[in-house]
Amino acid sequence: MFNQNFLRCTIFKQVSRFYRKMFGHNDKNLESHYVSIPRNAHNISRKDISENALKVLHRLNKQGYEAYLVGGCIRDLLLGKKPKDFDIATNATPEQVQKIFRNCRLVGRRFRLAHIMFGKEIIEVATFRGDHDNQMEQNNISKRSQSGMLLRDNVYGTIEQDAIRRDFTMNALYYNVKDFTIRDYCGGLKDLQNGIIRLIGDPQTRYREDPVRMLRTVRFAAKLGMEIDPATADPIKKQASLLKNIPSARLFDESLKLLQTGNGYATYLLLKKYNLFEQLFPLIERLMTTNQNSYLEKIIEKVLKNTDYRINHNKRINPAFLFAAFFWYPLMEQTQVTCIESGLQFHDAFSIAINDILSEQCRVIAIPKRFTSVMGDIWRLQLRLKKREGKRAFALLENPKFRAAYDLLEMRASIEKGELLELAKWWDEFQFASPEKRITLVKQLSKTYKRRSKR
């Protein structure tokens, strides 16, 4: 945290001097003036910008259109981070953009966008959004639900209108490649310098327009180590239930951004704080305890910290493993309920419970089948890992999901202790042993079983 704050102070020192020169020391002036930050007062360099993004900007400008880099890429460059992608805002309509670029396709119905394809890299180009109050909201242009959520938003306008339609002040920054200036309409640079996440406009209205903004608020706070402005934070708990109006497929995509981008545990704590976690994972939330010391809460902490570590060390991750760990204890709870209610044996109740858990959770977050099938395999292997006699251990070792199943077993053992620790230790030794040693381990296990059966 110290290093991040030091970085902010270093990067924004010259920006602060420019602000004071323009407006004196009255911070309130920043929100009521359009500010153009010259090249010598910011740290963004063209060498840090995608060559393909620069091509798009130059060609749009050459065709007579306004075009700017905008949003997260500008924010990240100012913070000394490498942007994940580069987005462009322009006064050209999506159809006009498509006429200029042969490698362009139009996507989206709710927000019409132009995607310009350069191999694996996609440059997203959005037309300046306009002010709804000054437009007739026709169904093919703009549409809201009864709760105020934007169902369609293709009202186009000016760069000034586009700026105040963006979500956070730090994302309403525009980089002009023609003169290398940054345009700041909402005091975003000042908020970046102070480490503040602030919504543009009335927070309650903005959350109603798109409830996912609540998730984005906590995600950016965790990712950037910044504080949420009180006015931005206050409505979240009361309006958290609006997430029920969001399509489950979109919430799956958002859940990965929340939990699998290297700051999952910090994000989880904020989701809990603002009552957002229960909207995404109601099956899990209802089993959590007041002292936050249950097996369920411990495994969530472990799997999120482990995922963060792997991401930050460029190791592979799989959403299926994360969700398998998340729902293991709810699955055990549901299995016990099914046993009691149906009178079935544990194994049969376990299979039914898998279907029940996945079906109920996918109504909230649409986890794709390619992940739910892996989750089911990992769960079923937890039962099979107990049966190691004869050729079973050798067969299990060849199972393609063995490693993920073992990792979950090891995680459970570190929490539950007891016999699971012995089981995990045995599998750890077995998987790395020589073929001869493996045979010996299985024989020793058979002898142990025989001694126990004689008692």
Positions marked active-site: 85, 87, 167
DSSP H helix total and E strand total for the chain: 23, 12
d(CA 192, CA 190): 5
d(CA 427, CA 409): 10
d(CA 36, CA 47): 21
Q: HSE on the CB side for 334, CA within 13 Å?
A: 21
| SS3 label, residue 174 | strand
| SS3 label, residue 339 | helix
**Cβ atoms within 10 Å of 173's Cβ, excluding its own:** 30
- In eight-state DSSP terms, residue 228 is E
Q: E strand or H helix at 392, and its extent? A: helix 392-398
- Token pair recorded at residue 34: 């359009």
Helix 346-362 and helix 328-342, axial crossing angle in degrees, nearest 10: 120
**Look-up of token digits 């309006």:** 239
d(CA 64, CA 144): 33
Quick check: 167 and 174 in contact, CB under 8 A? no
Q: Are strands 173-176 and 181-184 parallel, antiparallel or unpaired?
A: antiparallel
d(CA 423, CA 142): 59
| SS3 label, residue 189 | helix
Helix 369-384 and helix 319-326, axial crossing angle in degrees, nearest 10: 60
What is the DSSP code string of 115-158?
A: EEEETTEEEEEEEPB--GGGS---TTTEEE-TTS-EEEE--B--
> Closest Cα to residue 305, out of 252, 269, 279?
269
- In eight-state DSSP terms, residue 108 is -
| SS3 label, residue 84 | coil
Strands (E), 62-120: 67-70, 87-90, 104-107, 113-118
- Token pair recorded at residue 6: 């030091």
Quick check: 157 and 129 in contact, CB under 8 A? yes
